[in-house]
Amino acid sequence: VLSKIASGAAIALTASIMSISAADAKNFKIAVGDSGGSSQEATGKAFVEALEELSGGEHTGTLFLNGQLGSEQDTVNEAAIGTLDMSILAINNVTPFSPTVGVFSLPYVILSLEDAEKLTQGPIGQELTENTINDAGVRIIAWTYTGFRRLTNSKKPVKSVADLQGLVIRVPKNEIMIDTYKAWGISPTPMAWSETFAGLQTQVVDGQDNPYTTINAMKFYEVQKYVTNIRYIFSIEPLIISEQVFQGLSAEEQEMILEAGKKATAASAQFLRDNEAEIKQILLDEGMQIDDPENNEEEFIKLATEAVWPKFYDSIGGIEKMNAVLAEIGREPV
Ligand code: MLT
């Protein structure tokens, strides 16, 4: 009888542990702005894989690709109020909610993947992460590196600022990017990312800018012909988690999330290193024409940096912050 009671108790205990564990198992809902094949998807997959591994299969995440859960900027609002767990989106779509991250979108600040890694993974990245928690209610847990945003359009080769005149270019709803195109002499059209393919297809706009990987994943080659290899912004696309959701996790779970984020960041840099050249070739094979800007992009650089940098020193935290950023990547102060 005693042993029966003991084994009954053991069964009950096991059942109750299992039910605790089933109740605690989490499947995080992760919005992704881009479609399959994008660097955002690569980061998301690496994150989910690492999280499953670190939690012994208890926690996972589901990616909702291609803006299914709303525009990138909307997902920040949803994560802030806790109705969405996570989102992977371009940093330029976080800036309206937390202006200091704008430093990553200032034209010609980040000049390589190495600059991007240094800035995001060092003290500046840490500070900006804290700012987004306070300003926007979201925490950056991983960084995606997607490469330089290249200009595409359906009308003509663009090699100079003069060539750009007359084109209607879509930009994200981001003041820094709007002002950069104004410095180049045109008035761009701000449009949500989730509406951009349709905007290009219906020729409401002639062009846009995004990295090779994004152009390919979004199949922009179906509606765009010309690519200009400008390098004004190196696209950084964080994975953010709702701070409310994060604070609702145990210390151990938080640790796992942060660790999985680090692994996803490393995987993202590797994805770019492994795939960018091949993806550029796919764009050529799909019939795109890729041109370099003339004179080493000098005119684009001069106009953009002279007009745009000083205008945004205050919003990114002052001229000292700008100089701290430049110093971290070995550049001269302003
Ligand atoms: C945008 O252009 O709004 C974004 O960079 C798109 C993206 O997330 O790839």
Residue among 52, 46, 89 nearest 67 (CA)? 89
- pLDDT of residue 189 exceeding 90, the answer is yes
- pLDDT of residue 22 exceeding 80, the answer is no
Which atom of ligand 1 is nearest the CA belonging to 218? 9
pLDDT in tens, 138-163: 999 999 999 999 999 999 999 999 99
The complex's ipTM works out to 0.94
- pLDDT of residue 20 exceeding 50, the answer is no
Kindly list the distances between the CA atom of residue 27 and the CA atoms of 60, 63, 70, 169, 185, in Å, as whole numbers in the listed order.
Answer: 5, 10, 19, 39, 47
**Atom 5, ligand 1: residue with shortest CA distance:** 90
Top mutation candidate among 40, 72, 95 for ligand 1, by most atoms within 8 Å of CB: 72
Residue 24 pLDDT grade (very low, low, confident, very high; cuts 50, 70, 90): confident
pLDDT score, position 23: 55
Top mutation candidate among 43, 75, 214 for ligand 1, by most atoms within 8 Å of CB: 214
Distance from the alpha carbon of residue 137 to the mean position of ligand 1, in angstroms: 21
**Atom 4, ligand 1: residue with shortest CA distance:** 90
Rounded-to-integer distance, Cα 39 and Cα 89, Å: 10
Rounded-to-integer distance, Cα 102 and Cα 96, Å: 8
Mean pLDDT on 79-92:
97
Kindly list the distances between the CA atom of residue 30 and the CA atoms of 40, 75, 241, in Å, as whole numbers in the listed order.
Answer: 11, 10, 9
Residue 32, strand partner residues: 88
Residue among 138, 137, 176 nearest 315 (CA)? 176
Residues with CB under 6 A from ligand 1: 33-34, 72, 89-90, 92-93, 172, 193, 210, 214, 235, 237
Residue 63, strand partner residues: 30
This prediction's pTM: 0.91
Burial class of residue 27 (count of CB atoms within 10 Å of its CB; 0-12, 13-18, 19+): exposed
pLDDT in tens, 273-300: 999 999 999 999 999 999 999 999 999 9
Q: Name the residue with tokens 């080769």.
A: 157
Distance from the alpha carbon of residue 14 to the mean position of ligand 1, in angstroms: 48
Which atom of ligand 1 is nearest the CA belonging to 214? 9
Q: What percent of the chain has pLDDT over 70?
A: 93
Q: Do 100 and 61 contact (CB within 8 A), yes or no?
A: no
Would you tell me how many other CB atoms lie within 10 Å of the CB of residue 270?
A: 13
